[in-house]
Chain A
Amino acid sequence: MAMTITEKILAAHAGKTSAQPGDNIWVDVDVLMTHDVCGPGAIAIFKKHFGQNAKVWDPEKLVIIPDHYIFTEDPHALRNVDILRDFVKEQNLPYYYDPGTDDYKGVCHVALAQEGHNRPGEVLFGTDSHTCTSGAFGMFSTGIGNTDAAFIMGTGKLWVKVPETMRFEFHGTFPPYIMAKDILLQVIGDIGCDGATYRTMEWAGDAVMQFSMEERMTLCNMAIEAGGKNSVIEADSVTEKYVRERSDKSYSIEHSDADAKYIFRKSYDAAAMEPVVAKPHSPDNKALARECSDVKLDRSYIGSCTGGKLTDFLAAAEILNGQKVKIETYIVPATREVEHGIRETKIDGKTLQTIFEEAGCHIGEPSCAACLGGPKDTFGRTHGTEVVVSTTNRNFPGRMGSKQSAVYLASPYTAAASALTGHITDPREVMPAKV
């Protein structure tokens, strides 16, 4: 029977030869990821149901990445990290990235990839809705709550309803000012923020396959903003190269059959794409960047699992190089590895770090930071009526801290271009050499 990548992966993990949309099946879990916000709750539920002395099903398969509330003085937030530490010790878990030590990484979805926990064909659950990011590796990955995570800790299994798949194809070549973020905001705007509810978003086409792993991760990251269960891109040589540099475990690459059934299919001309923003207060409130030039800004924020990878900062630096920002501009690398990249990577002989410092940006420590507001002392958090252009993924009311602030989601190019002018700016206006 013809199947999509997602159907094949789920079938294989349920010990079946086929899986059809709507089937409720129990799957074996390859990796469970949790972090400081949800880990303590999941651990408490695990102990409640499996006993105070219970052991997790497989310590090699549980990955704990504190990232949300790290650089804060909030005593409750710090206590949550202590709970994770105690659990890691008690369970003897090999994959824990402890804040305040050399092991600390940063934002979980980027760290999962960088530390080699993503492999094609695998099933990964995480207590974070953006776990769909890992689908960039040709695997099934999705977000779950504390109860489901506790259930996996005890059993290594979880029930899944096999999703229908929507396929988005991009053909041709993207113009140089277009990033994965633009494509995503375009598609979410087209289908609406519940347009993919319970479904898989499969990305394909020669234009998509030209993307680096980081850009593919951005593309998969925001499936949840369309309500999607997971996102997936078939693994190819780009994926294999990235994975082989970081993991020596075996994996299997699944392909969608040519006659697989899709609930929806849409094909886009890559060359026709334009820089897009999502206006407040919903990720599907789409507009072209050039149509929003009357929007005056107080702040530009470049960071998060969506827009805080090295590719994102390279794009921002290209625009900020030799210029001064007009508004407060925050740079938050997703992980230590990205931070290292900012310090080492050069444009015109200058490191990105120097470019950002000379432009007048504030550079923060790797973590989720103001992407989700967080404790009052969080770097870059809004406290009043700020109007922000941001490379993050959500602009719901209050998401970056203050209920009165307004957030425009955009690509790193657009966020950097807007930082230079103080209003929403199509990057083509400040990067004429690229048009």
Chain B
Amino acid sequence: MKEKFEGRAYVLGNNVDTDQIIPAAHLVYSLSDPEERKKYGEYALSGVPAEGAGLPKGNTPFIEEGKWQSEYSVIIGGKNFGCGSSREHAPACMEIAGVQAVIAESYARIFYRNSVDGGFFIPFESEKLLTEEINTGDELAIDLKANTLTNRTQNKTYSLKPLGDVKDIIEAGNIFEYAKKTGLIPA
């Protein structure tokens, strides 16, 4: 697990559901085929209504036309991020698009669990709602040891909640690596 990383912010609102993260019409592609996977990047966050895409301005596409990777690698969300379906295509498409971390006030349970067990990115919980403090495009830095988020554009630092129970799985990489480490499945 990296101790520090940096990236630009893409800010979303409350209750961003899995149909906004990856609309159901696109769930037909293979996640294991290296070429087809890119489709998930291309459509990542494509179901977010235009006014909520890249706050506070909105109307900022996460993925530029014709691309499958995003210039934003840290997602800032509000409450209940990832609610809705159990589709793992949701965290997967975000990882494919280049997301390294999501920082939300709270998560829907299955999305959170999928992000951790599949090792797609780190789902952090913020101590307070950040969606109105951070602007899409701000330069952010996350320090995992100190559990902090620094907004370099605005020169502000926020504390993040400790990862808690799931830290061991995140450190191992995913649920399989964790199970090997703990002897549940043979290494």
Contact B30 A148 (CB under 8 A): no
Closest residue to A69 on the B side, CB-wise? B28
Is B17 located at the chain interface by the 8 A CB criterion? yes
A392: Cβ under 8 A from any B Cβ: no
Q: With contacts A128-B85, A129-B85 known, is A40 near B25, CB below 8 A?
A: no
State whether A399 touches B86 (Cβ < 8 A): no
A423 to chain B, nearest CB (A): 25
A186 on interface, CB distance cutoff 8 Å: no
A194 at the interface (CB under 8 A from B): yes
Contact B165 A24 (CB under 8 A): yes
Is the pair A227, B83 in contact by a Cβ cutoff of 8 Å?
yes
Chain B CB within 10 Å, residue with most, of A44, A128, A147: A147
Interface string of A136-158 (1 = CB under 8 A from B): 00000001111110010011010
Q: Which of A76, A129, A151, A376 contacts B86 (CB 8 A)?
A: A129
Tell me, yes or no, whether B29 is within 8 Å of chain A by CB: yes
Please name all residues of chain B whose beta carbon is closer than 8 Å to the beta carbon of A154 when the two chains form the complex.
Answer: 185
Q: Is the CB of A77 within 8 A of B174?
A: no
B-side interface residues, number (CB < 8 Å): 41
Residues of B within 8 A of A227 (CB): 80, 83, 108-109
How far apart are the CA atoms of A68 and B89 in the complex, in Å?
Answer: 15
B176, A151: Cβ atoms closer than 8 Å: yes
Please, what's the 1-or-0 string for B175-187, where 1 marks a CB less than 8 Å from any CB in chain A?
1100100001100
Are A396 and B17 CB-contacts (below 8 A) given A38-B86, A145-B117?
Answer: yes
User: Is A155 a contact of B25 with CB atoms below 8 Å?
Assistant: no
> CB distance B19 to A396 under 8 Å?
yes
Decide if B28 touches A197 in the complex (CB within 8 Å).
Answer: no
Size category of the A interface is: 35 or more
Task: Give CA–CA (A59, B42) in the complex, Å.
Answer: 37
- Taking CB as reference atom, which chain A residue is nearest B89? A41
Are the C-beta atoms of B28 and A74 separated by less than 8 Å?
yes
Instruction: Identify which of A110-118, A208-216, A367-375 touches chain B.
Output: A367-375
Residue pairs across A and B with CB atoms within 8 Å: the count is 134
State how many angstroms separate the Cβ of A266 from the closest Cβ of chain B: 21
Query: In the bound complex, what is the Cα–Cα distance between A227 and B15 (angstroms)?
Result: 11
Contact A37 B110 (CB under 8 A): no
| Selected contact of A144 from candidates B23, B47, B110, CB within 8 Å | B110
Interface positions of A from 1 to 35, Cβ below 8 Å from B: 24, 26
| A146 (CB) vs chain B CBs: closest residue | B88
For window 112-161 of B, CB contacts with A under 8 Å fall at: 113-114, 117-118
B34 interface hit (Cβ, 8 Å): no
Indicate whether B27 reaches chain A with its CB closer than 8 angstroms: yes
User: CB of A286 within 8 A of chain B?
Assistant: no
B108–A397 touching, CB < 8 Å:
no
Cβ-neighbour of A155 out of B17, B24, B29, B179 (below 8 A): B179
Whether B86 contacts A144 by the Cβ 8 Å rule is yes
In chain B, what residue has the closest Cβ to A227?
Answer: B108
Q: How close is A391's CB to chain B, nearest CB, in angstroms? A: 18
CA distance A159 to B19 in the complex (A): 26
Q: Does A205 belong to the interface (CB within 8 Å)?
A: no
- Is B84 a contact partner of A41 (Cβ separation < 8 A)? no
Interface residues in A333-356 by Cβ distance below 8 A to B read: none
When A26-B184, A37-B87, A41-B31 are in contact, do A397 and B47 touch as well, CB less than 8 Å?
Answer: yes
- The interface centre, meaning the residue of B20, B113, B184 with most chain A CB atoms within 10 A of its CB, is B113
Interface pair A194/B184, CB less than 8 Å apart:
no
Is B47 a contact of A77 with CB atoms below 8 Å? no
B49 (CB) vs chain A CBs: closest residue: A397
Decide yes or no whether A326 CB sits under 8 A from chain B: no
Interface centre among B31, B87, B91, B109 (most CB of A within 10 A): B109
A397–B19 touching, CB < 8 Å = yes
Chain A residues, Cβ within 8 Å of B79: 194
Q: A129-B84, A194-B79 are known contacts. Are A372 and B175 too (CB-CB below 8 A)?
A: no
> Is A134 part of the contact surface with B, judged by Cβ < 8 Å?
no
Per CB-CB distance, the 4 closest pairs between chain A and chain B, nearest first, are: A76-B28, A145-B88, A145-B114, A143-B86
